């Protein structure tokens, strides 16, 4: 009861801004090296000016330079940062991609509203992906030295990203997933929501309200709740598209319930987008978070430029239904995602191996996942 009372006191502004004990613990850290590949779980991750190192640094583009934005699958083991990718699929020779070699430049690469130049990973990679997808495709790497892709200044002024959709980090909590699964007919795993930072030990959906988050002496700012596209409805193991958990989230995590005056009634929210204040500094030393790190926070009462006149009645809403950015609007995300085959990511020694175990998504659906062959060194 004491803990619950303290929680509500902080929620309504009566408690300390930073609790004397952690609000949660970092349960998992995930990165997504190739945009739209499933997450790679790592024990710790350094923070760069664009987010976690390696996160969304690569993307596959079509013949017009437009990013494929479907979500595909994978996993990563531990070990030192790898030096190259290994890509393989039954019936195709493995493809080796160095992680940092300087390559030719390709122009007019586009991801949503941004366009610019990127490093082309070469003809061999282009042939490999084109053969797999059945369409002209190229693998490109973000050109960090000269390209800048800023975040939406309405929410996070001065921050930047690579090929991620909107913001450098996405946080979600295990408590929120557990609460959602209690009302679903079939539970879903956290990989449906693709967070970078998964925390545990906090109340369901309380991360909606966190304004300032401290992890390992680093300061993260909660800038906007994550409005979800169709990805949470895709089974990350076999690529099958369904309707859940979005249909259930519409009943209590949608604009219709949380923001009745908002135009788009069909948006649903799960997780919160973050920025890290220390990423604005040129100093790289010590910018790292680890699994098991305690998470400290203070609650968020306003967001997106809200003037702070939120009524006590709104503050006292059932926590599950509180939307931290209800006055701040939502970022627009372009549609037209393309469905492709699963690209599981594995690691062996100092090389990442991406094993293609499915086929491209089409009218016949997806093939069942198959055991990936042993990656080559």
pLDDT of the chain along its 377 residues, tens only? 444 444 444 444 444 454 468 999 999 999 988 888 767 889 999 999 999 998 998 888 888 888 876 433 332 223 344 566 666 566 778 777 777 776 789 888 998 888 999 999 888 888 887 887 788 989 899 998 889 999 999 999 999 999 998 999 999 999 999 999 999 999 999 999 999 999 999 999 999 999 999 999 999 999 999 999 888 998 877 778 899 999 999 999 998 887 777 777 788 999 999 999 999 987 766 799 999 999 998 765 433 333 333 333 333 333 222 222 222 222 222 222 222 223 333 333 333 333 333 333 222 222 222 222 232 22
Cβ-count burial 196-224 (b if 16+ within 10 Å, e if not): bbbbeebbbbbbbbbbbbbbeebebbbbb
CA gyration radius, the chain: 21
Distances (CA, A) of 283 to 48, 51, 218, 278, 301: 9, 14, 13, 8, 31
SS3 191: helix
| Encoded tokens for 145 | 């030295």
Cα gap 71→326, rounded to integer Å: 28
What residues are paired with 87 via a beta bridge? 95, 354
Grouping H, G, I as helix, E, B as strand and the rest as coil, residue 243 is coil
The per-residue b/e assignment along 254-273, b for 16 or more CB within 10 angstroms, e otherwise, is: bbbebbeeeeeeebbbbbbb
């Amino acid at each position: 009861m004491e803990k619950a009372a303290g929680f509500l006191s902080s929620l309504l502004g009566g408690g300390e801004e930073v609790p004397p004990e952690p609000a949660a613990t970092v349960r998992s850290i995930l990165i997504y090296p190739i945009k739209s590949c499933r997450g790679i779980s790592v024990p710790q991750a350094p923070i760069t000016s664009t987010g976690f190192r390696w996160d969304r640094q690569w993307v596959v583009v079509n013949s017009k330079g437009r990013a494929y934005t479907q979500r595909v699958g994978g996993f990563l083991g531990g070990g030192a940062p790898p030096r190259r990718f290994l890509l393989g699929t039954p019936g195709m020779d493995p493809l080796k991609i160095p992680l940092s070699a300087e390559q030719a430049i390709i122009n007019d690469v586009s991801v949503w509203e941004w366009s610019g130049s990127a490093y082309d990973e070469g003809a061999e990679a282009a042939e490999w992906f084109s053969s797999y997808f059945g369409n002209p495709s190229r693998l490109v790497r973000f050109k960090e030295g000269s390209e800048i892709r800023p975040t939406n200044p309405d929410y996070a002024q001065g921050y930047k990203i690579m090929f991620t959709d909107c913001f450098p980090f996405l946080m979600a909590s295990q408590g929120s997933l557990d609460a959602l699964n209690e009302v679903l007919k079939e539970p879903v795993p956290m990989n449906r929501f693709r967070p970078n930072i998964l925390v545990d030990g906090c109340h369901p959906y309380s991360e909606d309200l966190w304004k300032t988050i401290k992890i390992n002496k680093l300061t993260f700012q909660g800038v906007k709740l994550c409005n979800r596209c169709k990805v949470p409805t895709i089974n990350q193991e076999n690529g099958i598209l369904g309707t859940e958990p979005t249909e259930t989230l519409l009943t209590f995590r949608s604009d219709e319930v949380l923001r009745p005056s908002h135009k788009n009634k069909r948006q649903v929210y799960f997780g919160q987008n973050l920025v890290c204040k220390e990423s604005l500094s040129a100093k790289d030393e010590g910018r790292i978070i680890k699994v098991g790190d305690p998470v400290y926070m203070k609650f968020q009462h306003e967001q997106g430029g809200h003037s702070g006149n939120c009524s006590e009645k709104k503050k006292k809403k059932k926590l599950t239904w509180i939307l931290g950015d209800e006055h701040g609007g939502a970022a627009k995300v372009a549609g037209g995602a393309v469905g492709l085959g699963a690209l599981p990511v594995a690691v062996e020694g100092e090389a990442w191996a991406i094993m293609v175990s499915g086929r491209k998504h089409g009218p016949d659906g997806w093939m069942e996942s198959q055991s990936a062959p042993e990656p080559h060194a």
